[in-house]
Amino acid sequence: MKFDTAYCISLDDKLSIYDVRDLNFDETVDFDSDREYFLCPHDACRAAFADENKLGTFNAKNVNYIRTPHFKDLPSTQHINGCPYGTSRATGAGLALDETDEEREAHFPSELLLTRRQYVRKPVSTAAAQDLPPMPPPVPAATVSTPRTTPSAPLDKTSVFAHPVECFVSNYADKDKLKRMPLKIGEQTASYWSFFKKIEYLQDNKGLIYWGKVKAIKDYTLSVRVDFEKKVWFEGRPYSVNVYLSKQLIEGYRKRKAFLEEIRLAITNDRPLYCFFYGTTPALKQVPSKKDPAKTFGVFSGDIQNLDHFIIREAPGLDEA
């Protein structure tokens, strides 16, 4: 059984697996999903069992994944009768994911929030415990039968860019679904299909998520340039497209290590890679020619402003695109 969300004891909140990945790679927070306890997101079901009734994670720490990340039952995981996440599978509930959906992200967030979600750890009961790795707090016997009150996290929204990207990539073969599912970012709303714009058509509309097959990644040590395979046609001529990631941007990134690993894997990878980004629309610029600095040539180029909204990854389903 796959789960789109799980309850995390130490954060006292329900998280998506993409939230968990974001926390795992964030160097500014002390979080390691292997040390955390994730429980069934159904309040009554969770309350019926001890904290050891954990869920497992899949692809929570893998920088370069292909198969859709998710929470899953461990062999020991139990659910109450009637739990929509139970193995009996409630039909039509839309909560439990079927085995046939194993390879696809079935939970489409309706909005990508541009402000990062804040997580507050539960206060640790004793001062001595503060230097220890986070442990699940003991549950007093009297409260075991009472569901923990869970803050109303907007679970149909996400602040992790990788989540809508995974929806798009894993469901790419089902265009009708992508055309049906709505996505909002900032003030703009469109279907998933329309919000993800092929890089060669970037002139169609500003402020979308642009994506395309990567032709080359130039690591200049100080900065990174990603060249796209497809060109943009403008006034009857084809122009190359690229995006820049400045050294300052990379050095100051809270997930720097994971990002550099992503880039390193990408540069050494022979398989096709795709780049997705939001927050900048490449525009026509004149840049000096390397061979003859006195001359310039035109290129569609954009500067990435926020690495939280930038991904390079494998996406086998997009190879025929």
Report the interface residues with Zn ion, using CB under 5 A.
Answer: 40, 42, 45, 79, 83, 85
List beta partners, residue 58.
70
The least CB distance from residue 78 to Zn ion, in Å, is 8
Residue closer to Zn ion, measured from CB, 45 or 202? 45
The least CB distance from residue 5 to Zn ion, in Å, is 12
Residue closer to Zn ion, measured from CB, 45 or 208? 45
Could you give the count of Cα atoms lying within 13 Å of 292 in the half-sphere of its Cβ?
4
Distance CA 188, CA 112 (A): 10
The least CB distance from residue 20 to Zn ion, in Å, is 18
The least CB distance from residue 44 to Zn ion, in Å, is 8
Residue appearing with tokens 């990878």:
269
Helix (H) or strand (E) holding 303: strand 296-303
The least CB distance from residue 80 to Zn ion, in Å, is 6
Residue closer to Zn ion, measured from CB, 45 or 311? 45
Residue closer to Zn ion, measured from CB, 7 or 276? 7
Residue closer to Zn ion, measured from CB, 73 or 314? 73
The least CB distance from residue 87 to Zn ion, in Å, is 9
The least CB distance from residue 86 to Zn ion, in Å, is 6
Residue closer to Zn ion, measured from CB, 79 or 163? 79
The token duo for 35 is: 């040390």
Helix (H) or strand (E) holding 45: helix 43-47
Q: 167 near 160, Cβ under 8 Å?
A: no
Distance CA 282, CA 154 (A): 32
The token duo for 13 is: 């909140």
Helix (H) or strand (E) holding 43: helix 43-47
Helix (H) or strand (E) holding 120: none
The least CB distance from residue 124 to Zn ion, in Å, is 27
Residue closer to Zn ion, measured from CB, 62 or 88? 88
Helix (H) or strand (E) holding 71: strand 70-73
Residue closer to Zn ion, measured from CB, 42 or 70? 42
To 5 degrees, how large is the angle CA 40–CA 41–CA 42?
90
Q: Which residues contact 321 (CB under 8 A, 6 or more apart)?
A: 172, 198, 213
Q: Which residues contact 179 (CB under 8 A, 6 or more apart)?
A: 191, 192, 193, 194
- The SS3 assignment for 128 reads helix
Distance CA 176, CA 194 (A): 12
The least CB distance from residue 84 to Zn ion, in Å, is 7
Residue appearing with tokens 């859709």:
68
Residue closer to Zn ion, measured from CB, 81 or 118? 81
